[in-house]
Amino acid sequence: MLAERFDVEEGGDLRRQAAGAAALVADPTVPVDGELLDAAGDTLRVVANFAVGYDNIDVEACRARGVVVTNTPDVLTNANAALAVALMLAAARRLGEAERLVRAGRWTGWEPGQLLGRELSGTVVGILGLGRIGRRVAELLRGFDVSLLGTSRSPHPDVEQRLAVDRVSFDELVGRSDFVTLHVPLSEETRHLIDDDALARFKPGAILVNTARGGLIDSAALVSALRAGRLAGAGLDVYENEPKVPQELAELENVVLAPHIGSATATTRDAMASLVAENVIAVLEGHDPVTPVWR
């Protein structure tokens, strides 16, 4: 879509390529800061992020330069929420461990007490952040017979009622939930939201799932809580310093690890790509962006 209309350059030296560009297409691995914006210069009109999260972008710096910022909401909501549910089940049913056993040829036959996991049914699931993705998690969990708790900045009684979610405080959520799943954006306010202090307030034996951003969790605190048995397990798709994954996590049997694949379905990635292109085209052709973060 972009190449039909504009000169598109991919990869290479970012700062050099940015010079004189009218649009930058970035993803969360690309920090878009004042320096990059200055390298682009005053030709730049839009930064289109290939992601819903835009913690990689200095939005204030864009605003100060009159550069529009866009992201890709909605189109990945279902894919990300589904992966959160998959990680909940994988951690609870010890799928990682089970798969490693089979692949290593160590499975010696059916045993009644082998790899006993936990049911999701009958448990309390805490959804930290009742935005688009958090709400979708609540919908997907309907068939599992769970009780749902959630947090959100402001109340939405209609939504809470429709989803049968009880809106509670952070402390109440972590204290009562058997599963805690993170669906808030990363910001200075939420960085290390899950630290030693928070983990000490979790219900003992809870399972933590993160398909949002690695920076929400203090990894060292998570490792300690898992080692101490304070948490029974974790399902992680995102990490603090991607693509680095702490070795201590990789060594723990009760942790399921995925490589940031929350939106990685063919249909979702196609839809994200189209939305990125539509945003760039709209701005460069003088129209309103489709999904602006700021304009």
Which spans of this chain sit near ligand 8YV (rule: CB under 6 A)? 27-28, 50-53, 76, 262-263
Cβ proximity to ligand 8YV: between 137 and 199 the closer is 137
Cβ proximity to ligand 8YV: between 50 and 202 the closer is 50
**Any idea of the CA torsion for 231, 246, 198, 215, to the nearest 10 degrees?**
-140
Catalytic entry in 191, 242, 248, 269: 242
Catalytic entry in 45, 167, 260, 278: 260
Cβ proximity to ligand 8YV: between 134 and 262 the closer is 262
Cβ proximity to ligand 8YV: between 54 and 202 the closer is 54
The number of CA neighbours under 13 Å toward the Cβ of 81 is 22
- Minimum CB separation of residue 201 from ligand 8YV in Å reads 27
Catalytic annotation present for 242: yes
- Minimum CB separation of residue 194 from ligand 8YV in Å reads 18
Cβ proximity to ligand 8YV: between 83 and 208 the closer is 83
Q: Over the chain, what HEC string results?
A: CCCCCCCCCCCCCHHHHHCCCCEEEECCCCCECHHHHHHHCCCCCEEEECCCCCCCECHHHHHHCCCEEECCCCCCHHHHHHHHHHHHHHHHCCHHHHHHHHHCCCCCCCCCCCCCCCCCCCCEEEEECCCHHHHHHHHHHHHHCCEEEEECCCCCHHHHHHHCEEECCHHHHHHHCCEEEECCCCCCCCCCCECHHHHHCCCCCEEEEECCCHHHECHHHHHHHHHCCCEEEEEECCCCCCCCCCHHHHCCCCEEECCCCCCCCHHHHHHHHHHHHHHHHHHHCCCCCCCEEEC
- Minimum CB separation of residue 55 from ligand 8YV in Å reads 8
- Minimum CB separation of residue 260 from ligand 8YV in Å reads 6
Catalytic annotation present for 139: no
The verdict on whether omega for the bond into residue 73 sits within 30 degrees of 0, i.e. cis, is no
Catalytic entry in 183, 213, 240, 278: 213
- Minimum CB separation of residue 234 from ligand 8YV in Å reads 18
Cβ proximity to ligand 8YV: between 53 and 233 the closer is 53
Q: Is 248 exposed, middle or buried (0-12, 13-18, 19+ CB in 10 A)?
A: middle
Cα–Cα distance for residue pair 65/81, rounded to 1 Å: 35
- Minimum CB separation of residue 123 from ligand 8YV in Å reads 27
Q: Catalytic residue numbers?
A: 213, 242, 260
